[in-house]
Amino acid sequence: MSTNFDDIVRKILEKTGLDRNELMARIRRKQEELSGFITPEGAAAIVAREFGIVPERKIPEVRKLTISDLSPGMSNVDIVARVVRVYEPREFERRDGSKGQVASVILQDSTGQIRGVLWDKHVSLIKENKIRKGVSIRVCGAYVKHRQNGPPELNLGLRSSIEINPDDPRVEELPELPESKAKIADLKPDLSDVDVVGRVTAVSGPKTFERPDGSIGKVASVMLIDGSGQTRVSLWDEKAEVVGKIKPGDAVKLENAYVRSGWQDKPELHVGRRGRIILNPEDPEVNELPKVERRLLKVGEIEVDMPTLDVAAKVAQKFQPQEFSRDDGSSGKVMNVILADETGSIRASFWDDMVDEAQKLRVGDVVLLRNARSREGLGGQPEIRVGRGTDVQVNPEGISVGEPRPSLVEISELEPGMNAFQVLGRVIEVSGSRDFTRSDGSKGRVASMVLADRTGSTRVSLWHDKAGLVDGVKVGDVIRLSNCYSTAGLFGEVEVHLGRQGEMEVNPQVEVELPPVDVLKALARPEQVEIGSIKEEGKNVRVRGTIVKVFQRRPIFDVCPECGRNLGSVDSNLLCEECGKVVTPEHRVVLSFTIDDGTGNIRAILFGKVGEQLLGMGAQEVFEKFRGASSLSELYEEFDLLGREIVLIGITRRNRLLGELEIVVREVAIPNPKEEAMRLLGKIKA
């Protein structure tokens, strides 16, 4: 025992005349009453005060604890630990209406880890980056609470204090910070709590969307590089607003990010509610990052809603200028071209005065665009917008562009509105060419066939002088189509069209091995599965469930009745770029809703005749109802989709915005109990 303890005991014995053994027992009982976390000296001081004796030490000494000692109910805790993870502060509203702040950190010492919760005044230490990963802290006056469905947590309230990098011998006993930083090249899907330091090369502004539960979300993105590679980073909800402060060339540190498979299964980073974004951090790794001048983007790097971008590409296709009327009655002009490089192709729309610049372009020219911007175009694809503030240079010196190669797209990756791509498949159906008469009395020709690969099948339409290419093509042939475009067909599936500038090869020399016809046809006849079991894109599936959420969007889009191309970049544009003339549009239905079968839910997209079948009305009738409805809510209430039980057959794909799987539906049916029973019986017998 310490000298001070002996002095307190001596004073008590002198004043009270108690037996020493009786006094020592009383001191031990006092320790037990206080859960054993008061030193013998502190307990003796409390007993002394009960007898009116005031020792020199007035406050009971708190035992110095480790994390493994902590349990719910403890208070006045004094602990030294290292910060190993920091979570973003958030505001909340108390019952009395006042505002509060809370943040959390993960603390570690040699005995374990615990979550530390910082309230109100202490939150500023995180906002000012004083509490950050790796620093040691001493916490005094904290208390331990039980955490629902989890381990206890250490709370730092009004009476608590925090010392950063304290002069305390316990700091020497703390383990070093666990390594959690990752290089971009090492990212793998499903990693969580990842920290990455990189430099921003491009920024895409916030975009709102509706979740299956009806709530509204936001997402923005940046392209990030380090010395090992490049990746896309999605910033969700309140994190999306941060892009307003980020510009190309900035260094950022991402903490608590997670990794998911993105476009073409490449790993991408996501920063959600638990994540942090530290702009231009004080981190030694920043000095090792490659410098980023304002650089030219590749076509494949362009995202939707980039506020400013520079790009160089070759002109792959040109379309005729179009005039339109704005809502205020003024007239405008727009001209579209397809630009391409070795990474892909993209539509660029030249507006008003810039149409004159677009008309000077020739196929094969290199175009340099500075201070352009991007937006969402047809089929959700990014589209470049060229306005008065954009500098356009044609065939500039010192600028080279890789030879454009139409990107090879698997059939499951097809979406309406894609341009200048390549598709490879085996013919499983073929129809000869036929003549038709246009609305103006002129003649045209069209032929079709169905191509399939391992991921699905699609109908291919060949227009005008291309229709004769099917002559001699037979079932089983391998076909490669280049410079195609895609649209939504009459029966909901995405179709591939080969227009005037497209090319077709029959049985080319390719490295891709395609299954035989019978296997490809079998892949198109899926067994019914539970929604919760759907994990991959590009799968033909049959599901049965109930419509639990309907997305109230414009239920009609317009296509050219002669070539099927989606019409235009503005609502009033009825000029078909493929046919090169104004046409009377053909209306197509598009519906989107969430279906649930008890094991999970998934978004479904229905185009054309499939949507008409579900609604029980034709596209023209849907268009008339849409035009006459006072609101979308009124229109969809009349559709009466919510709560219906249906069977859907279609192909799964990954929504690029949400990163979630969805079904593009090609068949829809109302469940037939007898058919369902026979199907189940057959499955049992098998």
Q: What are phi and psi of 20, to 5 degrees?
A: -60, -40
Of 397-406, 503-512, 573-582, where does the model show the most confidence? Answer: 503-512
- pLDDT value at 500 more than 80: no
- pLDDT value at 463 more than 70: yes
**Single pTM value for the model:** 0.52
pLDDT band of residue 415 (cuts 50, 70, 90) is confident
Query: For residue 19, what is the DSSP state?
Result: -
| Distance in angstroms (rounded) separating the CA atoms of residues 223 and 301 | 8
Task: Quick: pLDDT tens for 224-254.
Answer: 888 888 888 999 988 888 888 888 889 999 9
pLDDT band of residue 572 (cuts 50, 70, 90) is very low
Report which secondary-structure segment, H or E, holds 232.
strand 230-236
Report which secondary-structure segment, H or E, holds 563.
none
Of 251-255, 561-565, 659-663, where does the model show the most confidence? Answer: 251-255
Domains of the chain: 3-50 (no CATH), 67-173 (2.40.50.140), 184-288 (2.40.50.140), 299-394 (2.40.50.140), 411-516 (2.40.50.140), 531-683 (2.40.50.140)
Q: What is the pLDDT of residue 660?
A: 81
| Distance in angstroms (rounded) separating the CA atoms of residues 442 and 436 | 9
Mean pLDDT of 283-288: 83
pLDDT band of residue 35 (cuts 50, 70, 90) is low
> Residues of the chain with pLDDT > 90: what percent?
17
Q: Name 449's bridge partners.
A: 430, 460
Least confident of 161-165, 452-456, 583-587: 583-587
* Positive or negative torsion for Cα 461, 467, 469, 471: positive
Q: What is the pLDDT of residue 82?
A: 92
Q: 426 vs 221, which has greater pLDDT? A: 426
- pLDDT value at 19 more than 50: yes
Task: Quick: pLDDT tens for 338-363.
Answer: 898 888 888 899 988 899 999 999 98
pLDDT band of residue 466 (cuts 50, 70, 90) is confident
Mean pLDDT of 625-646: 90
Task: Quick: pLDDT tens for 300-325.
Answer: 888 887 877 899 999 988 877 878 77
User: How far from 382 is each of 8, 371, 578, CA to CA, in Å?
Assistant: 80, 16, 20
| Distance in angstroms (rounded) separating the CA atoms of residues 219 and 104 | 24
The residue ranges of DSSP E strands in 454-539, in sequence order, are 456-463, 478-488, 494-498, 503-506
- 82-107 burial, b at 16+ Cβ within 10 Å, e below that, comes to bbbbbbbbeeeeeeeeeeebbbbbbb
| Distance in angstroms (rounded) separating the CA atoms of residues 447 and 598 | 43
- pLDDT value at 179 more than 70: no
| Distance in angstroms (rounded) separating the CA atoms of residues 486 and 297 | 25
